[in-house]
């Protein structure tokens, strides 16, 4: 670790932040020293929202729209998007950063793709520590995007303050949703692509399943969205 990295981090140098997260991802021994220097006396207060859902549901497009909404409210935003790793090169397939290019020049938006590196749970092993660094850096909001959703990809619910499960029409049935465990982790259901035929059926099925909960139990809201039009 370079000696001036903590000082650069505290001064708001985004390159120092990126370098710090890289050290965390590599599990570099210098991470402990860095965290002691930059986290000491700081109380990270960033709100954390996690977006999860099957591939093709439009998670990245929805996250992009949420970032735009938060920026209109003058909130600084960091996005940690977990991408699968290539089975050939081992590198992360960084598709999410491509979809969020309109925020590339915004100094109040930080977008980082992190490779899952074979870790089951939907997030990178480095996600928790990266969130702490982002909070210490001063971001108001942190948005997590998982690789996908499944019985082994529910870690986001333990990390995020709010978990948004993204669904779309014609992507599986109710039984599959129950098996995936999404009823248990969702704080909000976003039924994306609500301009596509069949979205009302998805909403109706969700309501039916939520009505199976014990009387008086809290039921997550169901929000139809059209991320490409920033509606919802």
Mean pLDDT for the stretch of residues 67-90: 78
68-72, 125-129, 194-198: which has the highest mean pLDDT?
A: 68-72
| Residue carrying structure tokens 């982790």 | 185
With bands split at pLDDT 50, 70 and 90, how would you rate the model's confidence at 115? Answer: low
Mean pLDDT for the stretch of residues 69-92: 73
Tell me the C-alpha distance between 63 and 97, whole Å. 11
Q: What is the pLDDT of residue 85?
A: 46
Q: What is the pLDDT of residue 212?
A: 83
Of 167, 158, 155, whose CA–CA distance to 222 is shortest? 167
Checking if the pLDDT of 116 tops 90, the result is no
Checking if the pLDDT of 28 tops 70, the result is yes
Mean pLDDT for the stretch of residues 32-41: 79
Q: Give percent of the chain above pLDDT 70.
A: 77
Q: What is the pLDDT of residue 220?
A: 92
Of the candidate ranges 116-125, 158-167, 187-196, the one whose mean pLDDT is the lowest: 116-125
| Residue carrying structure tokens 């699968």 | 84
Tell me the C-alpha distance between 183 and 163, whole Å. 11
- Through-space distance between the first and last CA atoms of the chain, rounded to whole angstroms: 44
Q: What is the pLDDT of residue 49?
A: 96
Higher-confidence position of 224 and 159: 224
Mean confidence (pLDDT) of the chain: 80
Domains of the chain: 1-42 (no CATH), 45-229 (3.40.50.300)
Checking if the pLDDT of 221 tops 90, the result is yes
Higher-confidence position of 210 and 154: 210
Q: What is the pLDDT of residue 119?
A: 45
Tell me the C-alpha distance between 232 and 216, whole Å. 27
With bands split at pLDDT 50, 70 and 90, how would you rate the model's confidence at 122? Answer: very low
Checking if the pLDDT of 31 tops 50, the result is yes
Contacts within 8 Å (CB) and 24+ apart, 122-126? 122/52, 122/82, 122/146, 122/147, 122/148, 122/149, 122/150, 122/152, 122/153, 122/154, 122/155, 122/156, 123/82, 123/147, 123/155, 123/156, 123/159, 124/25, 124/80, 124/82, 126/21, 126/24, 126/25, 126/27
Q: What is the pLDDT of residue 224?
A: 95
Tell me the C-alpha distance between 221 and 189, whole Å. 6
């Amino acid at each position: 670790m370079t000696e001036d990295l903590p000082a650069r981090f505290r001064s708001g140098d985004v390159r120092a932040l990126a370098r710090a997260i890289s050290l965390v991802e590599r599990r570099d021994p210098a991470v402990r020293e860095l965290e002691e220097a930059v986290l000491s006396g700081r109380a990270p207060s960033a709100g954390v929202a996690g977006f999860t859902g099957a591939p093709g549901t439009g998670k990245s497009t929805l996250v992009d729209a949420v970032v735009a909404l938060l920026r209109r409210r003058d909130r600084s935003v960091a996005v940690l998007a977990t991408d699968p790793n290539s089975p050939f090169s081992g590198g992360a397939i960084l598709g999410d950063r491509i979809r969020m290019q309109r925020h590339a020049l915004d100094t109040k938006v930080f977008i980082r793709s992190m490779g899952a590196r074979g870790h089951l749970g939907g997030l990178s092993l480095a996600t928790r520590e990266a969130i702490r660094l982002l909070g210490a850096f001063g971001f108001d909001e942190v948005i997590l995007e998982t690789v996908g959703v499944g019985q082994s990809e529910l870690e986001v619910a333990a990390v995020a303050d709010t978990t948004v499960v993204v669904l779309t029409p014609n992507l599986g049935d109710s039984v599959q949703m129950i098996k995936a465990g999404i009823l248990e982790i969702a704080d909000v259901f976003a039924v994306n692509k609500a301009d596509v035929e069949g979205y009302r059926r998805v909403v109706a099925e969700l309501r039916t399943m939520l009505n199976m909960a014990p009387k008086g139990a809290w039921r997550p809201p169901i929000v139809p969205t059209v991320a490409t039009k920033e509606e919802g």
